Structure 1
Amino acid sequence: MRYIIIGAGAVGGAVGARLAEVGHEVVLVARGAQYTALREHGLRFLAPDGEHTHRLPVVDGPSALGELRTDDVLVLAVKTQDSEVALDTWGPAPVRGGGTAAEQLPLVCAQNGVESQRLALRRFRHVYGVCVWLPSTFVEPGVVSAAGTPLTGILHLGRYPHGTDDTARRIAADLEKARFEAPVVPDVTRWQYAKLLSNLANAVEAVSGPLTGQAAESLYARVRAEGEAVLQAAGIPYASGAEQKEMRGDKVHLVPLAGAQRGGGSSWQSLTRGTGTIEADHLNGEIVLLGRLHGVPTPLNELLQRLATTFARERRAPGSLPVAELVRLADEAVAHAAG
């Protein structure tokens, strides 16, 4: 199978690099400075086993490839806020022998949250969800790092909304040859919602810095409790902390990488790069949406969603809101909701 990585950033670049290293055909899809850097210098991939430069085909859209192949796998690795454009662009692309990508090809959503696969299922017949546990960083245009060893990451994979099939198992086998663990599961959303609860911390980190210290950790515990209450009210199951810990074990140990310091997660990186957008609408905002649908107040997640999107829109520096001030705003939001 040929893997077309739509969004060759931190996650997409790491997955593409590892697949290429074990001999799979990989096409990277990028735009702007990333597209230029990949075309001119290749993909520099920094990892515990060394630095690798991959000279891979790079395109900015399907027209550059002509007809897609029947053995192509589309891996959607853009941020959720960019999914609509990507799906609209790639869905109508013609496939050799007839039909379109949306009709014929598997689309694998390797993203945070749960919204992209919903969007995809409106357009694509064959949608696969991934619970992405892959600590990776967009270092600069053309350079991506992943600090995990001995495995680079763990990628639970399954059909969306549920089930498994031979395609999922073939993709998983390719990933497992490429330094990933890729369990094929019939209930991938159960793992994704568990990851979503962890990702609620992304907005805290983005606006007030790493979750070190009692104040930040206590705030995140309150934010997560809101999320858990919402999922319970909505009847949405998720993998327990114990189950996740057992699955991960010591399989992905993070090591420092020279020239690739990991400052924070995906939302932190969005603010650092000044992209103008952030995933909060699809992380904290997912909890807000479900809370409104099921009558559960979510003042803390509403606050974090609003702050994170404001930071992104106004291109504020990540971590620039003191934790004490964030806690004060959180207490005010809860009091207002209760009053």
Structure 2
Amino acid sequence: MRYIVIGAGAVGGTIGARLHQGGHDVLLIARGPHYEALKHEGLRLTTPDSDETLRVPVADGPVPTRDDDVLILATKSQDTIAALAPWPSDLPVVCAQNGVANERMTLRRFERVYGMCVWLPAQIPHPGAIAASGHPYSGMLHVGRYPQGVDDLGEQIVTDLGKHGLLARSSPDVMRWKYGKLLSNLGNAVEALVGQAPERTEVVRLARAEARNVLESARIPYATPEDEAEVRGHNVDIRPIEGMERTGGSSWQSLARGSGSIETDYLNGEIVLIGREHGVPAPVNEVLRREANRVAREKLPPGSMSAQSLLALIGGHPTI
């Protein structure tokens, strides 16, 4: 079986590198300077206790496929449709992404779709390099068939992922875990907008409380922080990597790169969408969705908004 990792950034690149180290056939799909560095210099994977350069095959676009290929999609949610468009729809797809909309989008074209809830702290310090700070495992991955259940292929994927440096679990209720991760990701926009300002904790609290109200009103189950802590334990503790300073999360990194887009429509915006479908207002998450998109569109740097300005926009909404 060959794993084709579409979007070999921090998360996708780490998953691909660990599968490669486990002896599996892997092809990374990347673009731009990151692709050039991977092609000519290899993938440098740095962890709290190792520093290796791996010669993992890489391409900058679609390649001829095989019957035993598995696509691992690790792009941002706003890029899902475009990223999958060139690939044959008879291949299985694993959505290794934040948010809960990707699996349903993918199922429109692909029959075999698997959700993956990703807990994997990593970043790209420069093209061709990935710093994965999880210890003793680089990440914990819940995998299950979408919309629910497990099957033989899913079990094989879990086995392969767990051979080197990753902890993987078969999860028939994988979307419950992904909704739990969605709640934790609601703070991504806050960090991207105001950086590490102390007031950010109150905004995050409001956004998550509002989201829980929306999910419960819609009767959507989600894993709680207590569920996550019990399963994760100390398997993916964040440890410092010598010579590297940890930056912000994925939304922060999108603004830092000046990409012009951000994933917030599929994080805070997902809560807004569910709320609208069920008649439950979600004004805090709507402010975060709108402002994060504005800042991304204007290509402003992360932390360019004051916490006071953000709180003023949210002000007037009842405290939850």
The one-letter amino acid of 1:115's match is A
Give a deviation string over 1:144-203, Cα, whole Å, max 9, x none.
111011011111000001110011111101111122221101111000000000000000
1:328, CA displacement in angstroms?
1.7
Give a deviation string over 1:85-127, Cα, whole Å, max 9, x none.
011111xxxxxxxxxx312x21100000011111100000100
Unaligned 5+ segments in structure 2 are none
* Aligned counterparts, 1:1-339, within 5 A: 1-62=1-62, 65-66=63-64, 68-90=65-87, 101-103=88-90, 105-210=91-196, 213=198, 215-332=199-316, 334=317
The one-letter amino acid of 2:4's match is I
Partner Cα separation in structure 2 for residue 268 and residue 138 of structure 1: 13
The one-letter amino acid of 1:286's match is E
Partner Cα separation in structure 2 for residue 308 and residue 75 of structure 1: 27
Are the aligned partners of 1:113 and 1:196 in contact in 2 as well (CA < 8 Å)?
yes
Q: 1:94: which partner in 2?
A: none
Q: CA RMSD of the aligned region, Å?
A: 1.4
Partner Cα separation in structure 2 for residue 322 and residue 52 of structure 1: 40
Unaligned 5+ segments in structure 1 are 91-100
1:35, CA displacement in angstroms?
1.5
Are the aligned partners of 1:209 and 1:319 in contact in 2 as well (CA < 8 Å)?
yes
Are the aligned partners of 2:17 and 2:56 in contact in 1 as well (CA < 8 Å)?
no
Give a deviation string over 1:219-274, Cα, whole Å, max 9, x none.
21111011001101111001122111101111111111134322111101111111
1:79, CA displacement in angstroms?
0.5
SS in 2 for 1:123: coil
The one-letter amino acid of 2:297's match is R
Are the aligned partners of 2:48 and 2:242 in contact in 1 as well (CA < 8 Å)?
no
Partner Cα separation in structure 1 for residue 15 and residue 171 of structure 2: 19
Are the aligned partners of 2:43 and 2:54 in contact in 1 as well (CA < 8 Å)?
yes
1:207, CA displacement in angstroms?
0.4
SS in 1 for 2:70: strand
Partner Cα separation in structure 2 for residue 115 and residue 57 of structure 1: 30
Q: Which moved more, 1:176-185 or 1:282-291?
A: 176-185
1:324, CA displacement in angstroms?
2.0
SS in 1 for 2:273: helix
SS in 2 for 1:140: coil
Quick check: which one's helix share is greater?
1
Partner Cα separation in structure 2 for residue 262 and residue 110 of structure 1: 22
Are the aligned partners of 1:46 and 1:260 in contact in 2 as well (CA < 8 Å)?
no
Give a deviation string over 1:29-79, Cα, whole Å, max 9, x none.
0112221121121111111122111112111222xx32x112211100011
Partner Cα separation in structure 1 for residue 79 and residue 276 of structure 2: 24
SS in 2 for 1:23: coil
Q: 1:93: which partner in 2?
A: none
The one-letter amino acid of 1:83's match is T
Partner Cα separation in structure 2 for residue 309 and residue 258 of structure 1: 34
The one-letter amino acid of 2:219's match is G
Are the aligned partners of 1:87 and 1:123 in contact in 2 as well (CA < 8 Å)?
no
How many correspondences in the alignment?
A: 319
The one-letter amino acid of 2:275's match is G
Give a deviation string over 1:281-320, Cα, whole Å, max 9, x none.
0000000000111111111100000111111111111012
Partner Cα separation in structure 1 for residue 310 and residue 220 of structure 2: 29
Q: 1:98: which partner in 2?
A: none
Partner Cα separation in structure 1 for residue 89 and residue 180 of structure 2: 28
Greater than 3 Å deviation, 4+ residue runs: none
The one-letter amino acid of 1:49's match is D
Partner Cα separation in structure 2 for residue 57 and residue 144 of structure 1: 16
